[in-house]
Amino acid sequence: MKKFRSLFLLLILSLGLLSACGSAESNASSGQTEKQSAAKKVIRIGYQKNCPLNILKSQGTLEKKLKEEGISVKWIEFPAGPQLLEALNAGSIDFGRTGDTPPIFAQAAGIEFSYVASGYKKGKTSAVLVPQDSAIQKLEDLKGKKIAFTKGSSAHYLLLSTLKKAGLDYNDIEPVNLTPSDARAAFERGSVDTWVIWDPFLAVAEKESKARVLTSGEGLANDRDFYLASKDYLNTNKQTVDDVLAEVQKVSDWAKGHPDEVAGYLSPLVGIDEDILRTAVQRRPYGVVKIDAEIETEQQKIAEAFYSIKLLPKEIKVEEAVAD
């Protein structure tokens, strides 16, 4: 178990993301002692800047709803999903949202959590990009090319799915593991032939980096959001979790009709031009979906794909982590 958890932490290091997770780690030890005494009085929610939970935080509606039940809300920001899941495992938070790949690596590392809901398919929000003047015109042209992506991310899975559709093997390309910012720089100076990326970085690349979409993630990678809870918290506070999900749905309904307001709020937080961010907001479907057999199968396929290239340390069964 420790070996798998170490591999999970190594993945975080490979993504270059550990530097910003201090606040959660500093609360980890106290989180364990607080769990029993404070679980029914406060819900600690992990969120990221560019996610639906941040929009919910800005509205203040969850606090109003839970105040009626004598429950307060504590918001804790994380730079990415892996750190959020570590905090969930450490008892520092009770609930959070990540993309589709972090829970898979967390489950393989022995981290305890439960999937409680999903978001809608959002394949349009990620893509395989090439320069406007690139000779790459079809998926089969990716053979032998240098392709930038972030290891273990949803973009990594999109790459695997794209190669499979093209009849290519992972060994047929030259993979280049880079953070989004480093990948953009490499793409713009021509150090890589292709870049696989998600929004809002995708929207930025389309506008500022002279990028052309070779294929979006539609039909290849659904790139869903997942809402997660600690098993201990869920076992004793299911109604509170249900209330949070209901408020997420309400703010999602609002976000669908107010892309300008959403972009205006998020723009200074993520450091991206409001007009560009609006593009990302408008093509993102907001909402909460109950996890069914189809969604479990989607996640299982991602796990199997990463295991096939020896990135996942062991086989897992996603269904075992899905809440009843």
CB 105 within 8 A of CB 14: no
- The predicted pLDDT at position 324 comes to 87
- The predicted pLDDT at position 40 comes to 65
- Give the burial string for 81-103 (b: 16+ CB within 10 Å, else e): bbbbbbbbbbbbbbbbbbbbbbb
- On the question of a common fold for 2-120+224-321 and 123-216, the answer reads yes
Q: What is the pLDDT along the chain (324 residues), one digit of tens a residue?
A: 454 454 455 454 444 433 333 333 334 434 444 444 444 699 999 999 989 999 999 999 999 999 999 999 999 999 999 999 999 999 999 999 999 999 999 999 999 999 999 999 999 999 999 999 999 999 999 999 999 999 999 999 999 999 999 999 999 999 999 999 999 999 999 999 999 999 999 999 999 998 999 999 999 999 999 999 999 999 999 999 999 999 999 999 999 999 999 999 999 999 999 999 999 999 999 999 999 999 999 999 999 999 999 999 999 999 999 998
In the chain, where the domains are located: 2-120+224-321, 123-216
What 3-state DSSP class applies to 8? helix
Euclidean distance between CA atoms 21 and 108, whole angstroms = 21
What 3-state DSSP class applies to 68? coil
Edge-to-edge strand list for the sheet holding 226-229: 72-77, 42-47, 95-98, 226-229, 114-118
The CATH code for residues 2-120+224-321 is 3.40.190.10
Tell me if the domain spanning 123-216 has CATH number 3.40.190.10: yes
Burial class (CB in 10 A: 0-12, 13-18, 19+), 171: exposed
Per the document, the length of the chain is 324
**pTM, full prediction:** 0.87
The model's pLDDT over 31-57, given as tens digits with 9 standing for 90+, comes to: 444 444 444 699 999 999 989 999 999
The model's pLDDT over 235-259, given as tens digits with 9 standing for 90+, comes to: 999 999 999 999 999 999 999 999 9
Euclidean distance between CA atoms 229 and 223, whole angstroms = 19
Residue 286 DSSP label? P
